[in-house]
Amino acid sequence: MSFIAFLGSSQNLVYTITLGFVVVLGLIELVCTLLGFSLSDAIDSLLPDFDLPDTAPSAAGGLLELLGFGSVPFVIRLLLFGFFFGISGYFLQLGYAKWTGRPMSAGLSLVFTLPLAFILSGLSAKLVSRIFPQIQTDALSIQSLCGSSGVITIGTASLGSPAEARVTGRDAKTYYVRVQPYSSDETFTTGTAVLLIELVDGIFFVQTAPEITEK
C-alpha cells in the first residue's frame, strides 16, 4: 500500500481529516494574530470556566488538571489534541499493519488513540503553559497596566477591531495585550504609541501617547 493510499484508507480517514483540521485551524489562528485579532481569546470568552469549585472532588480536579484544562487557551488545547490524535492513529495503524498485514478497524483504533491523545495533549498543554507564562498572566497584573504606555505591534486598532500592543508594566515585565480606541473615528496603526486607559472584557481602551516612541 502506498503512503497516499494509507492516508486515505477508510481506517485512517478520521486521522487524516483531523490533522488537516489542525493545519487549517493553525493557519487561521496565525492569520488572525497577524491581523491583530486573537481567535483564542474570542473563543475562550464564549466558553465556561473549567476551574472546579473548592467543594469538587479532588479526583475530578486532578483528572481535569492532567488533561490540561484551564492551563492554555482552548484553541491551543484543541490543536494539541488533534495533533496527537492524528499522529498516534497513524503510528498505531502502521504498527498493527506491520504486525498483522492489515490495518486495524477505525472503530477499534479509537479505543486506543482517544485516551492516548487526551493524556499526551494534556501533558503538552501543561508544558506549553510553563514555557510561555504569558498564557497565564495574572489578572491583577494585567489590570495594573491601566495608565501605562505601549506601542502597537501587530495590526491596526479600531473600535470593534483590536490590535496587539506591547506594554511594559510596573513590574518591569513586558506584556502583549489587545487594545482599541474609544471612538470609531480613531485608528492606531503599527508603531503608534498609546496610553492604556481602561480594561473591559480583556481589551484595553486606549488614547494617543504622542511623546512615547518604540524603543
Same domain, 71 and 102: yes
pLDDT recorded at residue 77 = 85
Say if CB 164 and CB 196 are below 8 A apart: no
Is the residue at 193 inside a domain? yes
| 149/171 Cα distance (integer angstroms) | 14
CATH number, position 175: 2.40.50.140
Domain of residue 11 covers 3-135
Is the residue at 101 inside a domain? yes
Same domain, 165 and 121: no
| 81/22 Cα distance (integer angstroms) | 9
pLDDT recorded at residue 97 = 85
End position of a domain, from candidates 114, 135, 156: 135
pLDDT tens-digit readout, 85-125: 999 999 999 898 889 888 888 889 999 999 999 899 888 88
End position of a domain, from candidates 78, 100, 135: 135
Q: What percent of the chain has a predicted confidence (pLDDT) above 70?
A: 72
Same domain, 177 and 93: no
Give the confidence band of 36 by pLDDT, cuts at 50, 70, 90.
low
Domain count of the fold of the chain: 2
Same domain, 29 and 43: yes
> Which residues are CB-neighbours of 171 under 8 A, at least 6 positions away?
141, 144
Same domain, 67 and 119: yes
pLDDT recorded at residue 35 = 65
Say if CB 92 and CB 21 are below 8 A apart: no
Say if CB 123 and CB 72 are below 8 A apart: no
Is the residue at 27 inside a domain? yes
pLDDT tens-digit readout, 144-184: 788 888 999 988 999 988 888 888 877 777 888 889 999 88
Residue 80 has pLDDT above 60, yes or no: yes
End position of a domain, from candidates 135, 164, 199: 135
Same domain, 77 and 160: no
Q: Which three cell numbers mark 73?
A: 487557551
Query: pTM to 2 decimals?
Result: 0.57
* Of 39-48, 152-161, 163-172, 185-194, minimum mean pLDDT range: 39-48
Same domain, 129 and 144: no
Same domain, 42 and 129: yes
Q: Which long-range contacts (CB under 8 A, 24 or more apart) does 31-39 make?
A: 33/154, 33/164, 34/154, 34/155, 35/154, 35/155, 36/154, 36/155, 36/156, 36/157, 36/161, 36/162, 36/163, 36/164, 36/178, 37/155, 37/161, 37/162, 38/164, 38/178, 39/75
Give the confidence band of 195 by pLDDT, cuts at 50, 70, 90.
very high
